[in-house]
Structure 1
Amino acid sequence: MRLKQVRAAWDRYQRDDGPMMAAAVSYYVGLSLCPLLLVLLAGLGWFLRYTATGQTAEDQLFQAVRDHLSPTLELQVQQMLTQVQDRSATNGPLGFLAVLMTAVAAFSQFERAFDRIWGVKSVDDAGWVATIKRLLIQRGIAFLMLFSIGFFLIAVFAAGVALAAVRSMTAEIVSTPEMWWRTLQVSTAFAFNTLLFTAIYRWLPKTNPPWRSAVRGGVLAAALWEIGRHLLAAFLIGTKYSSAYGIVGSFIAILLWCYYAVTIIFLGAEFVQVASASHQPPKRGYPIAGPSPLDAG
């Protein structure tokens, strides 16, 4: 990973109006987080009552919100969970419809941003049939993205549960340093983030960049995300900040997280584009013919 390519990716990000694109996408992503949380809690509303594992999942959900967002938002989630557990049948479909609408809007913004990053020109509509076909394809891809994100969250959650189970089992046999488990937890999160970013850079662009460039962009984005999320949690989004502004502060915190995440995705996409261009073989042309010996006479 060359520093020159990172600098070139940053220059392209500024030239493509990356901050403005990140703000537009983070707006729709921020709006979709609350309905998405509503759907997740609606699914857990019935499950948490009858299983001990569901209670553990609830505790881990609250801990994740408290650690990665703010303690104030954790209280909001607890209140919402209490209401959703009693009305999961009605809130679930409405929440899913809201998630679908905002997911389509967010995907549309992502598609426009990636087209601009990779220099893909928009195709003019060839009639209402082509327009309907294109809209159906976009909504189908939005469905796939939504279910892919859900599958990824389930995989991350399963990995966390498995890691906690292994830790509790080994604690009875041998004492393991806390630093070792912390390193393993960070490494697991970094690996999952790398896979997620790599999949985004490989399949979301219409140009389908090579795997080598997508993996390098995924590693860069995962590293920036791990560094940035700790800085955000330590300096920008804390208990005092959320307590001072209440629910408005919690929503601002969500938008800050969304903006930073989208910025990392776009920076990584610019890096993938630069890396893909550097790996392309030079175009071969015919040599310029010199003067013919017959022309000398």
Structure 2
Amino acid sequence: MASPRIGYVELLKKTFAGFSKDECTTMAAALAYYTVFSLPPLLLLIVMIAGAVMGSQQVQEAIHGQFGSLIGTSGADEIRTIIEKAQETRQPNSGRPLASVLSIAALLFGATGAFAQLQMALNKAWEVEPDPKQGGIRNFIVKRFFSFGLILGIAFLLLVSLALTAAISAVGDALGRMMPGIGEPLLLALNFGVSFVVITLLFAAMFKILPDATIALRDVWIGAILTALLFMIGKFAIGFYLGKSNPGEVFGAAGSLAVLLLWVYYASLILFFGAEFTQVWAEERGSGITPEPGAVRVKEHKEHVRGPEEGNGRG
């Protein structure tokens, strides 16, 4: 554990310094780009997994409602169209096993693309990387495997969120009949609480699973809670900005796509700030961050590649 502990002001200074040094604005733009292209297979996969339990139509409506609260009705309608088009292009290949295997492989590859990019960004923020000596193919397969695991986690959290939302709605209706004027505010507060818990769990899973690093669960929770809080605040701020400025009008027919890109970009900035904070917190006030087996620290690897003479400025 790091000692002595730094103060909270210094903690924030180091977080902003790391945010700038790691070029998080550039990484956020790259993640937004990858997310847009990964969105159709990702949403289709989530609908397939969660729909097997709750029903495809109910899951699609839940996704539409979530995106509607984030990027507006027109953007949510565009998301619904993306899901429908993805379902149409996924033709059954009964009697053609090779085509079925290739179709599933392409779906998984596309859906995990954004998470692979996110993993590289988190590795950069936490100053670790896969050991080049372990082989590129192995690292690629492992990254995609963990990315798919996170997709399963998202589908599970969506199911939990749907179940809790239905339960809260029923409780809110009952309270509204018994105590008029109290049911609706309580319902809003409960919905906020559920959203906060679900988002915190999602960020905790990202910080714990995706990077090639070992970090104490306590440090993960601290970073995830702060990131979720910033995300909830940013969600309303971004929604207010998009509602007032309507930047999609500038892009005409591509307006919904532009708004989606803008929203993912801003959300990515919040995510990377939270990742930088988690890294600084773990190193300065927590249990530290160490490369997991098969990974190395970026600084150590660079020193090893340069060699001692070049590292000392000789030769």
Greater CA deviation, 14-23 or 198-207?
198-207
The equivalent of 1:182 in structure 2 is 188
Cα 1:38–1:111 change in 2 (3 A) is closer
Cα 1:143–1:55 change in 2 (3 A) is closer
Structure 2 residue 282 is the aligned partner of structure 1 residue 265: no
Cα 1:97–1:155 change in 2 (3 A) is farther
Per-residue Cα deviation, 1:165-196 (whole angstroms, up to 9, x for no partner)? 22223333333342222122112211221222
Deviation at 1:280, TM superposition (A): 5.6
The equivalent of 1:171 in structure 2 is 176
What CA distance in whole angstroms lies between the structure 2 residues aligned with 1:143 and 1:46? Answer: 17
- The 8 Å contact of residues 150 and 205 in structure 2, kept in 1 or not, is answered as no
Greater CA deviation, 91-100 or 241-250?
91-100
Cα 1:56–1:116 change in 2 (3 A) is closer
Per-residue Cα deviation, 1:177-230 (whole angstroms, up to 9, x for no partner)? 422221221122112212221222223222222222211111111111111111
Greater CA deviation, 221-230 or 256-265?
256-265
The equivalent of 1:90 in structure 2 is 91
- 1:70 alignment partner, SS class: helix
What CA distance in whole angstroms lies between the structure 2 residues aligned with 1:95 and 1:244? Answer: 37
- 1:172 alignment partner, SS class: helix
What CA distance in whole angstroms lies between the structure 1 residues aligned with 2:104 and 2:245? Answer: 31
Cα 1:34–1:95 change in 2 (3 A) is farther
The equivalent of 2:69 in structure 1 is 67
- The 8 Å contact of residues 50 and 155 in structure 2, kept in 1 or not, is answered as no
Please, which runs of 5 or more residues in structure 1 have no aligned partner? 283-297
Bigger Rg over Cα: 1
- 1:208 alignment partner, SS class: strand
Please point out which of 78, 81, 93 is paired with 1:76. 78
The equivalent of 2:156 in structure 1 is 151
The equivalent of 2:109 in structure 1 is 101
Cα 1:198–1:281 change in 2 (3 A) is closer
Q: Normalized against structure 1, the TM-score is what?
A: 0.77
The equivalent of 1:113 in structure 2 is 121
- The 8 Å contact of residues 41 and 84 in structure 1, kept in 2 or not, is answered as no
- 1:205 alignment partner, SS class: coil
Name the Cα RMSD after superposition.
3.5
Per-residue Cα deviation, 1:75-108 (whole angstroms, up to 9, x for no partner)? 33455667778x5862898986555223433233
Deviation at 1:14, TM superposition (A): 0.3
Alignment: residue pair count: 274
AA aligned to 1:163 is I
Cα 1:173–1:203 change in 2 (3 A) is same
What CA distance in whole angstroms lies between the structure 2 residues aligned with 1:172 and 1:142? Answer: 45
What CA distance in whole angstroms lies between the structure 2 residues aligned with 1:232 and 1:91? Answer: 40
Please, which runs of 5 or more residues in structure 2 have no aligned partner? 1-6, 94-99, 289-315
Per-residue Cα deviation, 1:23-75 (whole angstroms, up to 9, x for no partner)? 11221112212333344557799999xx8xx7665554433332211222233
What CA distance in whole angstroms lies between the structure 2 residues aligned with 1:9 and 1:238? Answer: 31
